[in-house]
Chain A
């Protein structure tokens, strides 16, 4: 208990350090930089922090901290813009926000959705900080309770959220999650380094696909393509009614939901190794499960925004625990944060001693984070009314720039032209999942959890085997700890409740059925992929069997699910929901353009990039798109394209990035940015 006696003086000393004009000034500076970067999907905190790193060396520690934390804290707030306004998950923190936020924007309620989201973020951040202030004192032994079996069960609990997001046909959701899990296993196996569905002749895939690319491909590209085909604005009405004040009222009406989700956010964020990438799904699932009327979820229910947004800022606070206390970063931005702390060079390094020797420093971090949330949220709410007007702009004018930004974002993950190819390929999958009403959230959850589930199940299995050799009791004590039992119960409840309610939650809207051929063809393609994955895993030799077990298990389960679907498809009439096909909906009749010509524009950018490099290709793409598809006059075309290119160059110059080179660059040496 004596540790609590230390807490109060440390807390007041921390506040003394924070509440200085210089510190606050740097905090606001960091927040502004974070907002600027966070608004662009896919860039997120890692890019921003890397940008700050060169300035960190020798900086006054508290000022440097303020700058960095200002930046980290607002990324999960500001990426809400992209999620709500364009249906693009800005980072892993706002995947679930897309599900209800974007439909709200389509109904002209963008400003309301945004301000509800920001109010929730602010509240979540503060609740998280308050909780952490006490919890961090006892966090160490609690975190140590989470061994491999517990971590495995948390991952599986996250996976159980697939239940509620499965859509109208539960098996379809399960197979979609299976597909996500399988796509997540692509690359080098984690234990013996055996390759799965990849080859050293094409080194790109050996590292597996990155979350940024899969997230953008599965959510953003299908939405962009769908909007582009309609050739209207995002919002279907001119008023951006339901202004920001209503959003705050919405939040107040759901403050208890917001509080619960904040606590979920901190707790899941604290668990090391999960990276908080499932937090928003778990709280989205929780939001639906505890709501009385559920029919509006997925169609623009403001609670679907409040839940995930309350948790994702709280999660950043929770993520500090494994980062600061164990040196295990919970996310990419936390990893850079550790590096930057070392650069500050004040002898403070993350690890076990931080709490005992530098409690005031730890508290400074926690409350700087909370303060940054306040500043960031106020700025965001102030901006939201203006930015929301983007939803009234004709989409054909926005689309080329969105393409430009997501291509750039995708390219950040691997600095490779193949990033764009992968984005295009995953986008293709996303388009068809959307069209045939296969749950895209389920796919993404599967992808995100593939690595943790495989790692923890393998670790738990190996260690349990050793413990059981010791004695039966030792083995059981290891596997069935109280935490594991509680998590198993929660998971079962979540699956049962989820599946019972899933029919009401139509993330893709009410998609009509008709025509057997297209849905059946897609199912056959899915089956072919699963069979390939199964064959590929089976061909891993015995000495590397640990790399084989997980993909084989997932592929087998998915195959059974897919075959059941196949049989059902043969037996049911074509009007059954099984044959949902977005192309048959009333919406589709409004489409001014076909799917293939629209996709061809993207393919055009991709192909041209491989020939002449990104910047030259982008120039040609912007000019031809704005002129031919958007039908602008030459003056506007050239002007808009020039602004776009200048913006891209500015971003790349600030972030110190190059662009993907093409064939041309391998023959001719060109100056930057054409390299």
Chain B
């Protein structure tokens, strides 16, 4: 029951923050303006769903009800859009950006293509998600809460790219001692799921919304067996069960039950550091560097107002899953955890990427 109380507390914290923020007098009137919210991915991904969900609510919550348009600028796994946003100097609130875990990882790993600096930007809202890994029926029958019976099997996984968000499942399976062959260059997790369904791939992972929409039907039909979630982070920074999937074990539990998998040491610390950077505050809405503090405040308040809607829990659970949403100072703190991994974790992952995938980041 600890989980539910955590979720409730998180929700209350958000609501309280909203109540505090609402009376602020400084709100800037945005009437007649068009806010362009740029998403550095294509129209089908989770980020698109996320922005499309918030855009009309934001328009309603901002003073003057400006038009909020979501624009898509896919390319180079979001690096293109982020590099573009770095150059934006329109500090009048008409330019907004939404980043995701795939924007954070290349930044954390020191990818040479990254020309953006998270610390320059003004976060106004952050929200998290989770992930679920699942097996095909054959492997699922052997799965007993540990990976012990899975070690002599060969799995095939459709991977979007070694340095993308997929490094979380890849590293987790490796730590469990599973033999997973990565088919690199998949265009999106939807394609990965189709590969799994047609039997080309035998193991898959989806973020929460993708799992709810696409994969849970396969589980019901007996074609897939959920293996584990990545979990959720509690206030002490410990991994606990994902509130959206309270019945599924976390990777931590599976790891503890599996021979040879350690929930301490350099490998575990690296996995956890990247998980914390990639999932609990996965999607963040930003205004560009140098935006007027009053405008930043206005946007923060508007998002707080959205979170305080009486129907928010209901409409967001359906479309985004049950994850906390942060605004104001909480969003800043969420950004802080999203863009800091300690040097050891980074070195470990960089070394592992080189050994396993031959990726050199220089």
Q: Which residue numbers of A lie inside 8 Å of B, CB to CB?
A: 53-54, 57-58, 144-148, 188, 190-193, 200, 203, 206-207, 272-273, 326-329, 332, 335-336, 338-339, 342-343, 345, 347, 349-353, 415, 455, 458-459, 462-463, 466, 469-470, 541-544, 546, 656
| B330 within 8 Å of A (CB atoms) | no
Interface pairs (14), CB distance under 8 Å: A53-B52, A144-B198, A147-B200, A191-B185, A192-B162, A192-B359, A200-B113, A206-B75, A272-B194, A349-B213, A350-B213, A351-B214, A459-B158, A544-B358
Task: Give the distance in Å from the alpha carbon of A463 to the alpha carbon of B67 in the complex.
Answer: 47
CB distance from B139 to the nearest CB of A (A): 14
Task: Give the distance in Å from the alpha carbon of A284 to the alpha carbon of B104 in the complex.
Answer: 46
Which residue on B lies nearest to A145, using beta carbons? B198
Q: What per-residue 1/0 map shows which CB atoms of B52-70 lie under 8 Å from chain A?
A: 1101100000000001111
By a CB distance below 8 angstroms, the chain A residues around B340 are none
User: How many chain B residues have a CB neighbour from A under 8 Å?
Assistant: 54
B198 to A147, Cβ gap below 8 A?
Answer: yes
A188 to B44, Cβ gap below 8 A?
Answer: no
B358 to A54, Cβ gap below 8 A?
Answer: no
- List 9 A-B pairs, minimum CB-CB distance, nearest first: A543-B358, A57-B56, A191-B185, A335-B43, A144-B198, A352-B217, A207-B75, A190-B185, A339-B43
Q: Which of A53, A332, A470 has the most CB of B within 10 A?
A: A53
Contact of B49 among A190, A192, A342, A542 (CB under 8 A): A342
Q: Which of B68, B154, B358, B360 has the most CB of A within 10 A?
A: B358
CB distance from A480 to the nearest CB of B (A): 15
Q: Which of B44, B56, B161 has the most CB of A within 10 A?
A: B44
List B residues 180-214 near A (Cβ within 8 Å).
181, 183-187, 190-191, 193-195, 197-200, 213-214
By a CB distance below 8 angstroms, the chain B residues around A546 are 184-185
CB distance from A143 to the nearest CB of B (A): 8
B217 to A353, Cβ gap below 8 A?
Answer: yes
> A351-B217, A459-B185 in contact; A656/B112 too (CB < 8 A)?
no
B80 to A54, Cβ gap below 8 A?
Answer: no
A192 to B184, Cβ gap below 8 A?
Answer: yes
| B350 within 8 Å of A (CB atoms) | no
By a CB distance below 8 angstroms, the chain B residues around A188 are 76
> A147-B200, A470-B154 in contact; A327/B213 too (CB < 8 A)?
yes
CB distance from B39 to the nearest CB of A (A): 10
CB distance from A187 to the nearest CB of B (A): 9
A338 to B44, Cβ gap below 8 A?
Answer: yes
Task: Give the distance in Å from the alpha carbon of A541 to the alpha carbon of B358 in the complex.
Answer: 10
Given A326-B194, A458-B185, A543-B359, 19 further pairs, Cβ under 8 A: A57-B56, A144-B194, A145-B198, A146-B198, A147-B199, A191-B185, A200-B113, A203-B80, A207-B75, A326-B197, A328-B44, A335-B42, A338-B43, A342-B52, A345-B315, A351-B213, A459-B158, A466-B156, A656-B69
By a CB distance below 8 angstroms, the chain A residues around B156 are 463, 466
By a CB distance below 8 angstroms, the chain A residues around B197 are 144, 326
Task: Give the distance in Å from the alpha carbon of A200 to the alpha carbon of B111 in the complex.
Answer: 12
Which residue on A lies nearest to B354, using beta carbons? A543
| B309 within 8 Å of A (CB atoms) | no
Which residue on B lies nearest to A461, using beta carbons? B183
By a CB distance below 8 angstroms, the chain B residues around A656 are 34, 36, 69
By a CB distance below 8 angstroms, the chain B residues around A353 are 213, 217
By a CB distance below 8 angstroms, the chain B residues around A351 are 213-214, 217
Q: Which of A53, A327, A458 has the most CB of B within 10 A?
A: A327
Contact of B52 among A147, A192, A273, A339 (CB under 8 A): A339
B184 to A343, Cβ gap below 8 A?
Answer: no
By a CB distance below 8 angstroms, the chain B residues around A345 are 315
B190 to A327, Cβ gap below 8 A?
Answer: yes
Q: Which of A192, A458, A470 has the most CB of B within 10 A?
A: A192
| B254 within 8 Å of A (CB atoms) | no
Task: Give the distance in Å from the alpha carbon of A470 to the alpha carbon of B155 in the complex.
Answer: 11
Task: Give the distance in Å from the alpha carbon of A544 to the alpha carbon of B43 in the complex.
Answer: 29
> A54-B69, A188-B76, A543-B359 in contact; A339/B217 too (CB < 8 A)?
no
By a CB distance below 8 angstroms, the chain B residues around A338 are 43-44
By a CB distance below 8 angstroms, the chain A residues around B44 are 327-329, 335, 338-339
CB distance from A422 to the nearest CB of B (A): 15
Contact of B83 among A203, A328, A470 (CB under 8 A): A203
By a CB distance below 8 angstroms, the chain B residues around A350 are 213
A328 to B42, Cβ gap below 8 A?
Answer: no
Which residue on B lies nearest to A356, using beta carbons? B217
By a CB distance below 8 angstroms, the chain B residues around A145 are 198
Task: Give the distance in Å from the alpha carbon of A7 to the alpha carbon of B295 in the complex.
Answer: 54
Task: Give the distance in Å from the alpha carbon of A147 to the alpha carbon of B195 in the complex.
Answer: 7
A459 to B183, Cβ gap below 8 A?
Answer: yes
CB distance from B44 to the nearest CB of A (A): 5
List B residues 4-18 near A (Cβ within 8 Å).
none
List B residues 25-62 near A (Cβ within 8 Å).
34, 36, 42-44, 48-49, 52-53, 55-56
CB distance from A671 to the nearest CB of B (A): 14
A207 to B76, Cβ gap below 8 A?
Answer: yes
B218 to A352, Cβ gap below 8 A?
Answer: yes
By a CB distance below 8 angstroms, the chain A residues around B195 are 147-148
CB distance from B52 to the nearest CB of A (A): 6
By a CB distance below 8 angstroms, the chain A residues around B318 are 347
| B319 within 8 Å of A (CB atoms) | yes
CB distance from B361 to the nearest CB of A (A): 10
Task: Give the distance in Å from the alpha carbon of A575 to the alpha carbon of B73 in the complex.
Answer: 51
By a CB distance below 8 angstroms, the chain A residues around B43 are 329, 332, 335-336, 338-339
Contact of A462 among B70, B154, B183 (CB under 8 A): B183
By a CB distance below 8 angstroms, the chain A residues around B83 are 203
Task: Give the distance in Å from the alpha carbon of A353 to the alpha carbon of B197 in the complex.
Answer: 14
By a CB distance below 8 angstroms, the chain B residues around A57 are 55-56
Task: Give the distance in Å from the alpha carbon of A310 to the alpha carbon of B158 in the complex.
Answer: 36
List B residues 284-332 near A (Cβ within 8 Å).
315, 318-319
CB distance from A468 to the nearest CB of B (A): 12
Which residue on A lies nearest to B155, using beta carbons? A466
Task: Give the distance in Å from the alpha carbon of A351 to the alpha carbon of B73 in the complex.
Answer: 24
CB distance from A45 to the nearest CB of B (A): 12
CB distance from A258 to the nearest CB of B (A): 32
By a CB distance below 8 angstroms, the chain B residues around A347 are 318
Q: Which of B77, B183, B218 has the most CB of A within 10 A?
A: B183
Which residue on A lies nearest to B60, using beta carbons? A57
By a CB distance below 8 angstroms, the chain B residues around A207 are 75-76, 80
B360 to A543, Cβ gap below 8 A?
Answer: yes
Which residue on A lies nearest to B221, using beta carbons? A352
Which residue on A lies nearest to B74, using beta carbons? A207
List B residues 117-140 near A (Cβ within 8 Å).
none
Which residue on B lies nearest to A46, using beta carbons? B43
Task: Give the distance in Å from the alpha carbon of A145 to the alpha carbon of B200 in the complex.
Answer: 10
Task: Give the distance in Å from the alpha carbon of A192 to the alpha carbon of B358 in the complex.
Answer: 9
Task: Give the distance in Å from the alpha carbon of A347 to the alpha carbon of B69 in the complex.
Answer: 22
By a CB distance below 8 angstroms, the chain B residues around A466 are 154, 156, 181
CB distance from B288 to the nearest CB of A (A): 16
Which residue on B lies nearest to A190, using beta carbons? B185
By a CB distance below 8 angstroms, the chain A residues around B183 are 459, 462-463
Task: Give the distance in Å from the alpha carbon of A345 to the alpha carbon of B70 in the complex.
Answer: 16
By a CB distance below 8 angstroms, the chain A residues around B154 are 466, 469-470
Q: What per-residue 1/0 map shows which CB atoms of B67-95 lie under 8 Å from chain A?
A: 11110010111001001000000000000
List B residues 157-194 near A (Cβ within 8 Å).
158, 161-163, 181, 183-187, 190-191, 193-194
Which residue on A lies nearest to B43, using beta carbons? A335
